[in-house]
Every structure is written in C-alpha cells, then in structure tokens.
Structure 1
Amino acid sequence: MSAPEIIKFCFSETHPNQWLKNDPDFDQIITNRFFDVHQLAQKGLLFNWREHPLDALAEIILLAQFSKNIFQNCSKAYQFDDLALVLSQEAIRKKYDLELTTEQRRFLYSPFMHSESQVIHELALFLYDQPGLEESYHRELGQKKIIDRFGRFPQRNAILNRKSTVEELLFLSNLNHSGASESVSSRRYLR
C-alpha cells in the first residue's frame, strides 16, 4: 500500500458525503483495504512519508480518519489522535498545507478538530478561516463550543470509559432527543 493509493481513495474514489455518515459498509471497505498500512502508521514506520506533502497527508489520514473507521465503537478509534495532531502540526510548519488543494487541507487540519484541547481549537478556527473551508469553520465553531463548555467531548465518555457529569448527561440526553444520534459537533468525520 502506498501513500498515493490512500490519496486516490480519499479524493477520487469516495464521495464527500461518505465521510459524513455512519456507514458500516464504508468502514469495512476502509478496514479491508487499509488495516495493514494503518498498523505501520501507528507504529511510526511510515516516517519516510513525511518528506512530501501528499505522503504526509496520507499518514495523517490513516491515523486521524481511518482510525475512526477501522476501530469504530472502540477506544482505539481515538488512540492515535495525538500522533495525528503532531504530524499535522509538523506538516503545517513545513508549509505543506500551502501545496494542497482546499479539500486536502480539510483532511490535513482534521486532527485539530478532533482534539480535546481549547488551545488547539483556537488554532483550528484560524486554520479553517479561509475560502472553501467555510463549512468546516462552522463545524469547528460547534466543536469548540463543546470543548469550551466541558473541556472534552461528552460523546466519547462511554467509549473511553470516562464518567459523565450531570451536565454532560443532560447534554447527551438533549442530543439524543433531538432525533440525531450525532450532532454536527460530534461526528466521527471531518466534513
């Protein structure tokens, strides 16, 4: 499996709406195709991919995005978020984002949106505040609002074996009663 195959899958073979919904079939496709290379990424063995913008993006997608598909409903889905964030920060430091398309930048910046740090969410607003990323910017506003309120994403509490506060339980109850299993701010995916 090569970095270009991951890039092709994300930007040529899939429809943008596929990243928005909870689709077990889509998760299985990702698991079948990318599990082995994900294992390499999580062990830090794709370090040679970090010398080129698209290759670096592929490693970030593996860790930030495909982890959510491969390990859905498992705490391991979030285990690689910090590594993905560091890789994204490094790619931005190298100005790789300036060499990517708008849609590719959306994926590159996604680890910022997945973070449970208020500081990182401030940076995410700055990153998403550019033409073509307006939808992600508004989604990030929702993410930041939850982090500012709770200091974490209550939607992850059960899967991460964290005890929810009364306020978080009320929030989750309202989320469930709204008819949506996930709000814009709690989606697994980046768009």
Structure 2
Amino acid sequence: MIAGPGLRRRRDDGLISDVVGFWKEAGKDGRWFDKDKGFDRRFRERFLDLHMAVATREHDGWMETPEGALALLILTDQFPRNAFRGTGHMYATDPLARHYARQAHAGGHMERVEPDLRLFGDQREAGTLDQIPDDDRTASLGQGDRRVRLRGNARE
C-alpha cells in the first residue's frame, strides 16, 4: 500500500519535531558546543538514517516550513559535527547546509524560528568559523550589535 500525502506529511511533521525537540533539549543541557562522546553517540544513533536521507535530498519538502528548514539545517550542519567528530565526514554536507540556509533566509523562515535557534541558520548562511564563506552575504549577517557564539569563539 502506498502512503498518501496526508500520511507522509504527518510522518514528516513527527520527524521534524523529533529533530528540533532533541536539539532544543540539547541546548537546555548546554551540549550544543560541547565535546561529549555520549551525547554524540546518542545523536548519531537516533538520527543517522535521517541525516543520510536528508543528505540525498529526500526531505527537501521540509523547506516549506520554518521548523522543517531548521531541521534540515540541524541535520546537515550540527548533526555531522557531532556524529562524525574528528573525521572528514563532519564537513561533507556543508554545501547542502549552505544551500538550505540560503533558502531558509530567502523564505523568511529564520525570522520565525525561536531566537536561540536562529544561530544555526545564521552561522551556516555566513559560514561557520571552520569554513570559508561562499558568498558576500556574510557581511550583512554580522551588522549591528549582535554577537554570535560559534564553537566557543565570539564573532561580531
């Protein structure tokens, strides 16, 4: 039996909520930028298959909503940094994360994401400190008095 669009949408909404909920909880626990092997293992075990599906563009439709866009960013940027720490694969989906970040900003999604979570769209749009930005939009993201914490370093 083939699942109809309504069933797939409910399934996708559940997956999106799982990813964003897990990441929010990690932030409350102060784990976003910590090196914690136990957390990395739990994150990898829970979302590896979903990361791989996102990396093969199976969930591009999630970009239709702010929470879906955030989930795509988490799975292509933050997930690999934790799940594949210390390996080349931790950067493998960076181009896709930048693509999603551009789309999220163009669609106005990041403005509708909770303020604490906007960091993950902004840093990818600008390029994290371990990446060279791929376009000149970086300058516009750093304007104003806003300070963004990236991987333990302050950036204005």
1:116 is paired with a residue whose SS is coil
Kindly provide the amino acid, as one letter, of the partner of residue 55 in structure 2: Q
- Match for residue 56 of structure 1 among 46, 69, 77: 69
Q: So what's the TM-score if we normalise by structure 1? A: 0.64
2:127 is paired with a residue whose SS is helix
1:39 is paired with a residue whose SS is helix
Report the structure, 1 or 2, having the larger helix content.
1
Name the counterpart of 1:172. none
Please say if 1:126 is aligned against 2:129. no
Please say if 1:47 is aligned against 2:57. no
Number of equivalent positions: 138
Gaps of 5+ in 2: 1-13
Q: Could you tell me how far apart the structure 1 residues matched to 2:33 and 2:25 are?
A: 16
Q: Could you tell me how far apart the structure 2 residues matched to 1:106 and 1:98 are?
A: 11
Q: Could you tell me how far apart the structure 2 residues matched to 1:102 and 1:128 are?
A: 16
Instruction: For CA contacts below 8 A with separation 6 or more, give which structure has more relative contact order.
Output: 1
Look at both structures and tell me which one has the larger radius of gyration over its CA atoms.
Answer: 1
Per the TM alignment, residue 16 of structure 1 is displaced from its structure 2 partner at its CA by 5.5
Gaps of 5+ in 1: 142-191
- RMSD, aligned α-carbons: 2.2
Kindly provide the amino acid, as one letter, of the partner of residue 60 in structure 1: L
Name the counterpart of 1:187. none
Per the TM alignment, residue 84 of structure 1 is displaced from its structure 2 partner at its CA by 0.2
Percent identity of paired positions between Structure 1 and Structure 2? 21
> Residue by residue, what CA displacement relative to the aligned partner does 1:57-92 show, whole Å, maximum 9, x if unpaired?
101110011011111111011011111001101110
Kindly provide the amino acid, as one letter, of the partner of residue 113 in structure 1: G
Q: Could you tell me how far apart the structure 2 residues matched to 1:130 and 1:58 are?
A: 27
